Structure 1
Amino acid sequence: MSRELYTRAVAGFDAVLRAMPGDRWAAPTPCAGWDVRALVDHVVREDLWAAELLAGRTIADVGDRLDGDVLGADPVAAWGAASTAAVDAAAAANDDDLVALSAGPTEVDEYLRQLAADHAVHAWDLATATGTNLRIEADLLDAVTAWFAPVRRTYQDLGLVGPRAPLGEPAEAQARLLAMFGRSEALAAVQRFGDAFDAKDVPAIMANMTTDCLFESTSPPDGVSHRGADAVRAAWHGFFETAGDHRFTTESRIVAGDEVVVTWRYDWTGGHVRGVDLFRVRDGLVAEKRAYVKG
């Protein structure tokens, strides 16, 4: 079971990486301090180590061979070679064999569950960094959650994951898992939406909204409600066509479960206003955006 989970998690990461635009290697990721290249370097290094350790070698045997940059001039090729070697080594190992990890001898079954979790979550990190709403396969999601929930506190105490992210109840399964790893799916969705909005990219905006989305504008006195993807898309086109020279600046984002409060300043030639957006997120997409303005 753990071998299948790991293989599928590797396939999921592979699909996201190979679909990534070539200009995103320096993009920030949900992993603090890591851009896309650093994240991919981490996962490739992890698989290079897995191939060695699953073959029965020790940390001392490997020595410093895997230190430094492991991606080289062709990061995708480096990933392909490392992941293939690791999956092959996993297929050849027995579940009750012991792997010589820094934490001590660990059964292959447990090690593969650790690897599956890391690959699944980092696939989501990579997708988020490239503006995509990745949905982890349901049974992989459930298996990783079942493995990680009892050990999450230990991982946090060791500094391997951050504090649990804010989460509302009831929460969706993927949001619960990501929160355990210190990530907020709601915040990531709003950030992707904001990036698309700043680029005035209406197709990208709509790709980050649900089909039954609601956008409530700031038009006085009570705002104008646009419901459903077609109406909201038309509203965005209308806004960008008439707004002229303008700039939104985000001042803060506050996460409350599946809701995110964003305070902002809107500048145009000759003036500005400040306001608040109330976002509600569902399945990693913006379902509601309600805007309010001071004035």
Structure 2
Amino acid sequence: MKQDSVVTIHADEQSRQTAEIMRRFNDVFQHRDPAALAELVADDCVIENTVPAPDGARHAGKDACVGLWSAIATQAGTSFDLEETFVAGERATIRWRYFMADGNSIRGVNLMRVADGRIVEAMGYVKG
């Protein structure tokens, strides 16, 4: 059963801006529409994702990050449930559950950082 996502935001302007960017980022995956990524991702963005295990892979630069997230958002038969987004200043933690096309699922978190209104860092971790 899908639960409503919880969003916790510290009450300062930077946190509100980061929360809005995270809302738009999460919408990409909820609506399976990566169109917004180009304006959300910084030129110098870096992703350290969860595969291949155990350390994942590093993706650097806007094109690489937008490409990776676009592929994840549009992968047939998959979906994300957002469990919680916590925002404090330029940092956000997104707790999620990813349902794969084969029916299995994994839980994980993304540790995100925003600078100058764009995502500059995303570190992904999953439960083993």
CA contact (8 A) 2:34 2:73 kept: no
The alignment-based identity, stated in percent, is 35
Give the match for residue 6 of structure 2.
none
**Counterpart secondary structure, 1:184:** helix
- 2:99 counterpart of 1:271: no
Report the alpha carbon displacement of residue 261 of structure 1 after superposing the two structures with TM. 0.7
Give the match for residue 116 of structure 2.
283
Q: 1:233 to 1:276 in 2, by over 3 A?
A: same
Q: Which runs of 5+ in 1 are unaligned?
A: 1-163, 167-177
Q: Distance in 1 between matches of 2:30 and 2:83?
A: 14
Q: Distance in 1 between matches of 2:29 and 2:97?
A: 14
Report the alpha carbon displacement of residue 198 of structure 1 after superposing the two structures with TM. 2.4
As a proportion of its length, which structure holds more helix? Answer: 1
Q: 1:188 to 1:238 in 2, by over 3 A?
A: closer
Q: Deviations over 1:21-75 (max 9, x none)?
A: xxxxxxxxxxxxxxxxxxxxxxxxxxxxxxxxxxxxxxxxxxxxxxxxxxxxxxx
Q: Distance in 2 between matches of 1:187 and 1:240?
A: 20
Give the match for residue 76 of structure 2.
244
Q: Which runs of 5+ in 2 are unaligned?
A: 1-9
Give the match for residue 11 of structure 2.
165
Report the alpha carbon displacement of residue 240 of structure 1 after superposing the two structures with TM. 4.8
- 2:17 counterpart of 1:185: yes
List, as ranges, runs of 4+ consecutive aligned residues in structure 1 with deviation greater than 4 Å.
none
Give the match for residue 210 of structure 1.
42
RMSD between aligned residues = 2.0
Q: Distance in 2 between matches of 1:239 and 1:280?
A: 19
- 2:78 counterpart of 1:253: no
The residue correspondences of 1:80-99 to structure 2 (distance < 5 A) are none
What TM-score do the two structures reach when normalised by structure 2?
0.80
> Residue 273 of structure 1 aligns to which amino acid in structure 2?
I
> Residue 35 of structure 2 aligns to which amino acid in structure 1?
P
Q: Distance in 2 between matches of 1:276 and 1:204?
A: 21
